[in-house]
Amino acid sequence: MVHSVPLLSENKTLEKRIDDIVSQLTPAVPLHILNLQKLTEKSKEFKRLFRGTVMYAVKCNPSKEVIKTIAKAGIKTFDAASIEEVRNVRKWVPTAKIHFMHTVKSREAIREAYFEHGVRVFVLDTADELRKIVHETNLAPDLDLYVRLALPKNKDASADFSAKFGASPEQASFLLREARLVSSRLGIMFHPGSQSKNADVFRKGIAVAAEVIKKAGVKLESIDVGGGFPIQYPQQNLAPLSDYITTIHKAIDDYGLSGLDLYCEPGRALVAEAGKLIVRVELRKNDALYLNDGVYGGLVEAAKYQGAFTYPMRVIRKQNHEGDNDTIMSYRFCGPTCDSVDMMPGPFFLPADIAEGDWIEVSLTGAYSFSCRTNFNGFGKYQTIIL
Ligand SMILES: Cc1ncc(COP(=O)(O)O)c(C=O)c1O
C-alpha cells in the first residue's frame, strides 16, 4: 500500500553530518554511529534525576568508548554479566566498582572476579549459587551479596525476565536469611523487564521486595531496582524518565525502605539514543527489502520485539540519486544470512521508491544492536564511526 505521511525527521545538522559520512564512506557493511555527546547528556540526566547510585548494564553496549564515556560523565559503577565484561571494565576504568549481576556464574569466573579484579558484589537466586560464591572466594569476609527476586509477569515489558531469573518471594526470604550469615553487606534486587512501558511495575517490584525483607527478618543494606527504563520508540507515548524515577523514589519512601542504599542498573535507556545503524538495501522484491544486516547482526530486536516497537528510520539515497521522500509504504526486511529466521516482518515505513544501493538509517540502536552481532554465515563485518 502506498500512502503519503510525513517522515520522521530529527536534528537537521546531525542528519547532514551523517549524510556526508555515508556519502564519503559508501559503507558496504553495516555502519554503527555512536554519538558520545548524546551518551554523556543521558548519563548526566540519569545521575541528576536518580537519588541513589546509577550503574551501567554493560551488556547492552560493551564497547570501550561507551564504558569510558559513561565513566567520564560520572557513572562509576558497572553491572557486569560475564567475566569478560568484568575484565574490560576493570581495564578501561581501573577505579570502577563492579557488580557481578548474573545469577549463574562459573566457579572460574567467581574466583577471577574476586581475586584478580576486586569484585565484591555478587548476585544469586539459589542456595547452590550462594554456596558456589562462598566456596570460590574462600569464605571471604567482605562479600556484598544481592538476592534476585522474580516478579509476577510484566505484560508491559518487551522482555520479561522473571521466568528465567529470580527467586520466588518465599525462596528470596529464605535466601536473604542464608546470605546474611556470610555477607558483610546484603541487598535485594529485581529487574521488572526491559522497555517497561508502565512506571507502576517499579512500584509493584518495590512492594514485593518490602514484603520479602519483612518476612526474612534480617537487616539489609541495599536495594537495586534494576534496568527496564524505556525509551521513546515511535508511536509509544510513554511517560518521561523523570516520572519513572519519581515513582521509584516515592515507593521506596512509602514502603519504608529509604534507609537502604538505592541502586538502579539501566542499559537501554542510557545508550539506545546514542546509536544509529546504517544498513544498505542489496535487493528489493516488492515490499521485501533484502539488507546487509539482520537478526544475526545489529537488527536482532527488530525481529525479537516485532510488533512491540519499531525504530525511527530514514533513507539515505545512493550517490547522485534524488527520490520522493513523501510517498511512503510499508516494508518487511530480510537479513543477509541463509536462515529463514533472519526476517523482520515490520511493518517498516520508508519511501515507496527505495531501491538497491540506498541506505537506511536506523535510529535508537545504541543498545542491544552492536552487542548482539554474530559472525553467522560470514556476515559479521561492520564499521563504526564515533561522533
Ligand atoms: C541484570 C540486568 N540488569 C540490567 C539490565 C539492563 O536492562 P535494560 O536494558 O532493560 O535497562 C539487564 C538486561 O538484560 C539485566 O539482565
Residue 184 has pLDDT above 60, yes or no: yes
Mean pLDDT lowest among 167-176, 207-216, 268-277, 311-320:
311-320
What digits encode the pLDDT tens for the residues 247-266? 999 999 999 999 999 999 99
For ligand 1, whether the C-beta of 79 sits within 6 Å is: yes
What digits encode the pLDDT tens for the residues 218-257? 999 999 999 999 999 988 889 999 999 999 999 999 999 9
Residue 172 has pLDDT above 70, yes or no: yes
pLDDT band at 303 (very low <50, low <70, confident <90, very high): confident
Neighbours of 11 (CB within 10 A): 9
User: For residue 226, which of 206, 253, 256 has the smallest C-alpha distance?
Assistant: 206
Grid cell 521522500 is found at 325
The rounded Å distance from CA 268 to ligand 1 centre is 8
For ligand 1, whether the C-beta of 228 sits within 6 Å is: yes
36-271 homologous superfamily: Alanine racemase (3.20.20.10)
For ligand 1, whether the C-beta of 229 sits within 6 Å is: yes
Average pLDDT over the chain reads: 93
Sequence ranges of the domains in the chain = 2-34+273-386, 36-271
For ligand 1, whether the C-beta of 245 sits within 6 Å is: no
Which CATH class, in words, describes the domain spanning 2-34+273-386?
A: mainly beta
What digits encode the pLDDT tens for the residues 265-297? 999 999 999 999 999 999 999 999 999 999 999
Fold agreement between 2-34+273-386 and 36-271: no
Q: Whose CA is nearest to atom 1 of ligand 1?
A: 101
For ligand 1, whether the C-beta of 294 sits within 6 Å is: no
At 339, list the grid cell.
536462515
The rounded Å distance from CA 327 to ligand 1 centre is 38
What is the pLDDT at residue 10? 52
pLDDT band at 6 (very low <50, low <70, confident <90, very high): very low
Query: Under a CB-based contact definition with an 8 Å cutoff, are residues 296 and 381 in contact?
Result: no
Ligand 1 atom closest to the CA of 148, numbered from 1: 1
Residue 212 has pLDDT above 80, yes or no: yes
